[in-house]
Amino acid sequence: MTPAPLATAPLTARLRVPSGPLFFPVTAFGQDGSIDLDVYRAHVRRGVEAGAAAVFACCGTGEFHALTPEEFQDCVRAAVEETGGRVPVVAGAGYGTALAVRYARLAEAAGADGLLAMPPYLVVAAQEGLLRHYRELAAATALPVIVYQRDNAVLTPETVVELARTEGIIGLKDGTGDLDLMQRIVSAVRSEVPGDDFLYFNGLPTAEQTQLAYHGIGVTLYSSAVFCFAPEIALAFHRALTAGDRDTVHRLLDGFYRPLVELRALGRGYAVSLVKAAVRMRGLDVGEVRPPLHEPSEDHVKQLAEVIERGHALLEEDR
């Protein structure tokens, strides 16, 4: 039976205790480099049917940086239509404030349930500038905003407290891997904004590799790039982590996730291009990455196939 749409529930409630991994689909391109919406729809549909708890469309794995506004809106609309309200759709929004607002409004018009605010383009801004940027973005639409901190947009606990007090900002996704900073952020918000429903996400590439550590400081939500190409492995890890099955978690970390992370570290941009190669490997031709990213080498693709094969072998051991 198809579950009833939950689109009327607040996004925070829909994300707080996810039934499965958070799905960040890749964006499909045809042989001529243009968007292939039919393949993209199939990719999103397969993810939802496999058990994704949410679809984060046109974000980092979806090559937000490489999409025109028109392509972005087409993809977000397609994701909304394919989910049919069964799970929320969160769309990326980024660059400078004016462009971020434009993308936010395009996402709202396309039917998205929320926004993931990507770091501003290029500049390294002070905390007061970042705070103003995210507040203006939150005020631009009715969509709730999750702020993604990484690279040139790393926030202090004091700034995150102010974000948590800002209407329309519902969470923080961390891409720094600085657990000391995240612990101080969680503590500060808990102390200064008691009773708030502020959400925290582990947004590191291959987040499963670090999720045990993040879970220990209260960050229970995480993105899963693996879900794009091996949902059965991502789901097995998610179930084991939720159930406290450390044996299965450790077996998948040692035999699959760590080798995958080590392979990913061999090339710049592999957090995206390696994922797209794996999706193609599993039978869905989502095309290559757009420049300035590049495709993984033939040897690395071969190693990727071996890592995925080992991951499936580990699942067989549990049966």
Torsion angle of C-alpha atoms 70, 10, 165, 242, degrees rounded to 10? -100
Interval 291-300 mean pLDDT: 97
The CA–CA distances, whole Å, from 162 to 151, 198, 206 equal: 20, 12, 29
pLDDT, position 194: 87
Residues in Cβ contact with 41 at an 8 Å cutoff, skipping those fewer than 6 apart: 78, 81, 82
**216 in a structural domain:** yes
The pLDDT value given to residue 9: 61
Q: Report residue 270 as tokens.
A: 């592999």
201 inside domain: yes
Length of the chain: 319
Would 266 be classed as within a structural domain?
Answer: no
Residue 149 has pLDDT above 50, yes or no: yes
Q: What is the pLDDT of residue 3?
A: 38
Q: What are the percentages of helix, strand and coil residues in the chain, rounded to 5?
A: 50, 10, 35
Strand 89-93 and strand 114-117: the pairing is parallel
Provide the pairing of β-strand 221-224 with 145-149. unpaired
Cβ(233)–Cβ(256) below 8 Å:
yes
> Which residues belong to the active site?
148, 173
Q: Measure Cα distances from 102 to 65, 90, 256 in Å.
A: 14, 15, 40
User: Which pLDDT belongs to residue 195?
Assistant: 81
Does residue 97 lie in a domain region? yes
Give me the domain span that covers residue 207: 17-243
pLDDT digits (tens, 9 = 90+) for 24-34: 999 999 999 99
> What does the block give as tokens for 85?
């309200």
pLDDT digit string, tens, across residues 177-216:
999 999 999 999 999 998 878 999 999 999 999 999 999 9
Name, in order, each residue with C-beta under 8 angstroms of 93's C-beta and a sequence gap of 6 or more.
100, 101, 103, 104, 107, 115, 116, 117, 118, 137, 145
101 inside domain? yes
More confident residue, 132 or 6: 132
Average pLDDT over the chain, rounded to an integer? 95
Question: In the numeric block, which tokens belong to residue 87?
Answer: 């799970």
Number of domains in the chain: 1
Token pair of 23, please? 């799905």
pTM score = 0.94
Taking residues 14-18, report their average pLDDT. Answer: 86
**Residue 110 belongs to domain with CATH number:** 3.20.20.70
Asked whether residue 6 carries a pLDDT value surpassing 70, the answer given is no
CA distance 170 to 163: 8
- The percentage of the chain sitting over the pLDDT mark of 70, rounded to a whole number, equals 96
At 89-130, the pLDDT tens digits run 999 999 999 999 999 999 999 999 999 999 999 899 999 999
In this structure, the number of other CB atoms found within 10 A of the CB of residue 21 comes to 27
The verdict on residue 248 lying in a domain is: no
In a domain, 234, yes or no: yes
pLDDT, one tens digit per residue, over 49-63 is 999 999 999 999 999
Q: Compute the distance between CA of residue 110 and CA of residue 170 in angstroms, rounded to an integer.
A: 20
The lowest-confidence range among 15-24, 246-255, 268-277, 284-293 is 15-24
- Give the pLDDT confidence score for residue 1 in this predicted structure: 33
Of the candidates 70, 148, 66, 138, which has an alpha carbon nearest to the alpha carbon of residue 109? 70
Environment class of 4 (CB within 10 Å of its CB; exposed 0-12, middle 13-18, buried 19+): exposed
Backbone angles phi, psi at 138, to 5 degrees: -65, -35
Write the CA distances from 269 to 175, 218, 246, 304, 305, integer angstroms: 15, 29, 31, 15, 18
**18: pLDDT confidence band, cut at 50, 70 and 90?**
confident
Q: Distance between CA 2 and CA 4 in Å, rounded?
A: 6
Does residue 95 lie in a domain region? yes
